[in-house]
Amino acid sequence: MAEQTPSAGIEQDLPLEKPDAAVVRDALGVGVAVGLSGFAFGVTSAGSGLTLLQTCALSLFVFTGASQFALVGALAGGGNPFTAAAGAFFLGVRNAFYGLRLSQLLALPRAVRPFAAHWVIDETAAVSLAQPTRRAARIGFTVTGVSLYALWNLTTLLGALGAEAIGDTDAWGLDAAGPAVFLALLAPMLRTSTERAAAGVAVLLGLGLLPVLPAGVPVLVAALAVPMVLYVEGRQARDDVRREDR
């Protein structure tokens, strides 16, 4: 039997390299595909009564699509601005958890971290975490962040200008563009039965409470779907263990 050299075992443990060009291609694909949906946000925001400056400021300084759509949707429904902002805030909290993981993966210099934090969103996290090496993760994060940020803000501006030109967006059905885009982005992320169950319960809570609660509040209550589903699944798991022990 041939003797295995020490280097052979080490090479098996090393992550496979990925060409920089392939990382850039994948990152640009995500940045362009998602960045184009900024047009829907611009239309939705302007149609909800926000000015061009307010709409563009949201994309420049908030830069997280789900929170932006939630905010303008609640305001369009006549919700209290503080309630609408609270709903948008809770949707954006997930980015803080992405940041904890990405800070270890990317290991960026301290001077760069405050600027990079603005680009910590679903798409940059997904592209970075899919890479086999730190170098590839940094490239994926940077290219996705730059392309998505630039295109999202450009299409937001074009969407807001377009909404002002066509007038009443409700007459064109463009008020549904924002929620449709958000659902299209969310659906592929629901891979496990727990995630799908939580999403289903959240939809039922949100729609069921919509007629009885002020605008913006149902989305806050819908966040309870996650602990509810986890609690039910935890009880089922404990019951299964007890039955097996009998």
The contacts of residue 117 (CB under 8 Å, 6+ apart) are: 99
**38/158 same-domain check:** yes
This prediction's pTM: 0.69
Closest by alpha carbon to 220, among 62, 86, 71, 67?
A: 86
Query: In degrees rounded to 5, what are phi and psi of residue 4?
Result: -80, 125
**137/90 same-domain check:** yes
For the chain, percent of residues with pLDDT exceeding 90: 33
Please give the pLDDT value at position 67. Answer: 85
From 154, 170, 189, the end of a domain falls on: 189
Confidence of residue 65 (pLDDT cuts 50, 70, 90): confident
Please give the pLDDT value at position 85. Answer: 84
Is 158 within the bounds of a domain? Answer: yes
Q: Is the pLDDT of residue 201 over 70?
A: yes
Please give the pLDDT value at position 184. Answer: 63
The contacts of residue 37 (CB under 8 Å, 6+ apart) are: 65, 152, 155, 181, 185
189 versus 131: the higher-pLDDT residue is 131
What is the rounded average pLDDT of the residues 215-224?
Answer: 72
Q: Is the pLDDT of residue 186 over 70?
A: no
Distance in angstroms (rounded) separating the CA atoms of residues 60 and 75: 19
Q: Taking the mean position of all CA atoms in its chain, how far away is CA 163?
A: 24
The highest-confidence range among 35-39, 92-96, 124-128, by mean pLDDT, is 124-128
Q: Is 48 helix (H, G, I), strand (E, B) or coil?
A: coil
Is 72 within the bounds of a domain? Answer: yes
**22/90 same-domain check:** yes
Confidence of residue 78 (pLDDT cuts 50, 70, 90): confident
Q: Is the pLDDT of residue 168 over 50?
A: yes
Distance in angstroms (rounded) separating the CA atoms of residues 190 and 22: 26
Burial of residue 139, with CB atoms counted within 10 A of its CB: 0-12 exposed, 13-18 middle, 19 or more buried: buried
The range of the structural domain enclosing residue 131 comes to: 18-189
Q: Is the pLDDT of residue 185 over 90?
A: no
Confidence of residue 106 (pLDDT cuts 50, 70, 90): very high
Please give the pLDDT value at position 192. Answer: 79
Mean pLDDT for the chain overall: 81
The highest-confidence range among 26-40, 187-201, 228-242, by mean pLDDT, is 26-40
Cα–Cα separations (whole angstroms), residue 224 to 59, 90, 178, 190: 27, 12, 23, 17
Q: Structural domain tally of the chain?
A: 2
From 189, 211, 226, the end of a domain falls on: 189
